[in-house]
Structure 1
Amino acid sequence: MTNTVVIGCADQALAYELRSQLDELGDLEIGYIAETTSEFSSAVIRLEPDVVILHDATGPQTAIDVVRELSLRRPTMSTIVVCSDPSPESLMPLVEAGARGILTYPLAFEEVEARVRAATEWSRAMSDVVATPHDPVGGVGARVICFTGSKGGVGTSTVATHIALDVAREVPNFRVALLDLDLEKGDVSSLIDVRYRSSIADVARVSNDLNVRTIADAVVPHDSGLHLLLTPHQVQDVEFITPQSVRIIIATLRQAYDLVIIDGGSHVTPTQVAAVELADEVVIVTTPDVLSLRGVRRNLDSWDGLGVRKAETTRVLVNNSSKHNAIQADLVHRLAQAPVISVALPSLHKQLEAAVNSRDPLTLRESSWWKALRAIGKEIELVPVRPRTDVAAEAIKAEISTRRSERRRGRGKRRQRGGKVAGSESGQISIETVGLLPAILLICVFLWQIGLVGMSSIYASHAADAAARQASLGKAPGPSAYEKVPSYFRHGMSVDPSSTAPGDGVVTVHVKVPLFVPGVFSGPWSIDATRKVVQEP
Structure 2
Amino acid sequence: MIVVVLGCAEQALSYELRSRLAEIGDVEVAYVAESSQELTNAVLRFEPDVVFLHDELGPQPYADVVRDLSIRRPGTASVVVSSDTGSESYAAAMEAGARGIVTYPLSFEEVQTRLQSANDWARTMKRIVSGDSGQDGLGGANVIALSGAKGGVGTTTLAVHFGLDVVAQVEGYRVVLVDLDLEKGDVTSLIDVRWRSSIADLAKVADDLSARTVVDAVVPHESGLHLLPAPTDVRDVEYVTPSAVRRIITLLRQHYDLVLLDVGSHVTPVQAAAVELADEVLVVTTPDVLALRALRRQTTAWEQLGVRKHDMVRVLVNQASRDDEVQADTLRKLAQSPVVSAAMPALYRKLEPAVNARDASALKEPVWFQALRAIGAEVGMVRVTANEGAAAAALEESATRRGRRREASRLSRRRQPSPDAGQVTLETVALLPLVLLILAICWQIGVTAMSSVWLNSAATAASHAVSVGSSAAEVNDAAKDRVPDGFRDRVAVTPAVGGDPSRVRVTVNVPLVTFALGSPWDLSVTRKVVTEP
> Is the 2:79–2:100 contact (alpha carbons within 8 Å) kept by the matching residues of 1?
yes
Do the aligned residues in 2 keep the contact of 1:201 with 1:241 (CA within 8 Å)?
Answer: yes
Quote the Cα distance in structure 2 between the aligned partners of 1:373 and 1:227.
19
Alignment of 1:478-493 (within 5 A): none
Which residue does 1:19 correspond to in 2?
18
Whether the 8 Å CA contact 1:5–1:53 is kept in 2: the answer is: yes
What stretches of structure 1 move > 6 A for 4+ residues in a row? none
**How does the TM-score come out when normalised to structure 1?**
0.70
Corresponding residue of 1:430: none
Residue number in structure 2 paired with 1:34: 33
1:212 deviation in Å? 2.8
Q: Output aligned runs, 1:225-304, within 5 Å.
A: 225-304=224-303
Distance 2:244 2:294 in 1: 27
Counterpart of 1:154, as a letter, is: V
Classify 1:11/1:78 alpha carbon distance in 2 versus 1 (closer, same or farther; 3 Å). Answer: same
1:370 offset after TM fit, Å? 1.1
Query: Residue 422 of structure 1 aligns with which residue?
Result: none
Correspondence for 1:338: 337
Could you say which residue in structure 2 is the equivalent of 1:518? none
Q: What amino acid maps onto 2:146 in structure 1?
A: F
Q: Deviations over 1:344-400 (max 9, x none)?
A: 1111111111111000011112111111101110111111223999xxxxxxxxxxx
1:3-48 per-residue CA deviation (whole Å, 9 max, x = no partner) reads 2110001311211111111122222211111111110011011111
Q: State the match for 2:128 in structure 1.
A: 129
Are residues 118 and 216 of structure 1, via their aligned partners in 2, closer, same or farther at CA, if it must alter by over 3 Å?
same
The CA deviation string for residues 254-303 of structure 1, in whole angstroms up to 9 with x for no partner, is 11111111101000011110110011110000011111001110011100
Residues 133-170 of structure 1: per-residue CA shift (max 9 Å, x gap): 57465561111110000001111100111111111111
Alignment of 1:417-428 (within 5 A): none
Cα 1:307–1:133 change in 2 (3 A) is closer
C-alpha separation in 2, matches of 1:69 and 1:151? 30
| Inter-CA distance 258–387: structure 2 relative to 1 (3 Å threshold) | farther
Output the TM-score relative to the length of structure 2: 0.71
Cα shift at 1:85: 2.5
Q: Distance in 2 between matches of 1:139 and 1:333?
A: 30
Distance 1:135 1:344 in 2: 30
- 1:315 aligns to 2:314 (yes or no): yes
**How far, CA to CA, are the matches of 1:366 and 1:322 in structure 2?**
16
Deviations 1:172-230 (A, max 9, x none): 11111111101011100000111000111112222222223212211111122111111
Matched position secondary structure for 1:144: strand
Supply the distance in 2 between the matched residues of 1:257 and 1:327 (Cα, whole angstroms).
38
Task: Return the index of the structure with the highest Cα Rg.
Answer: 2
Name the structure 1 match of 2:198. Answer: 199
Looking at structure 1, the residues matched to 200 and 142 of structure 2 have their Cα atoms a distance apart, in angstroms, of: 23
Give the equivalent residue in structure 2 for 1:107: 106
In 2, Cα distance between equivalents of 1:221 and 1:203: 16
**Paired AA for residue 158 in structure 2:** V
1:72-106 CA-to-partner distances (Å, cap 9, x unmatched) read: 22233211111132233333222221111111111
Does the aligned pair in 2 maintain the 1:69–1:248 contact within 8 Å? no
Question: What is the aligned length?
Answer: 388
In structure 2, the partner of 1:212 is 211
For 1:88 and 1:269, how far apart are their aligned partners in 2? Answer: 34
| Contact preservation (8 Å) 1:73, 1:255 | no
Question: Would you say the 8 A contact 2:135–2:383 is kept in 1?
Answer: no
SS at 1:185's partner residue?
A: coil
Question: What is the DSSP-based 3-state SS (H/G/I as helix, E as strand, rest coil) of the residue aligned with 1:322?
Answer: coil
Secondary structure, aligned partner of 1:145: strand
Conserved 8 A contact 1:150-1:286: yes
Code of the aligned partner of 1:108: S
2:165 matched residue in structure 1 = 166
Q: In the alignment, residue 13 of structure 2 is paired with which amino acid?
A: L
Q: Secondary structure at the match of 1:165?
A: helix
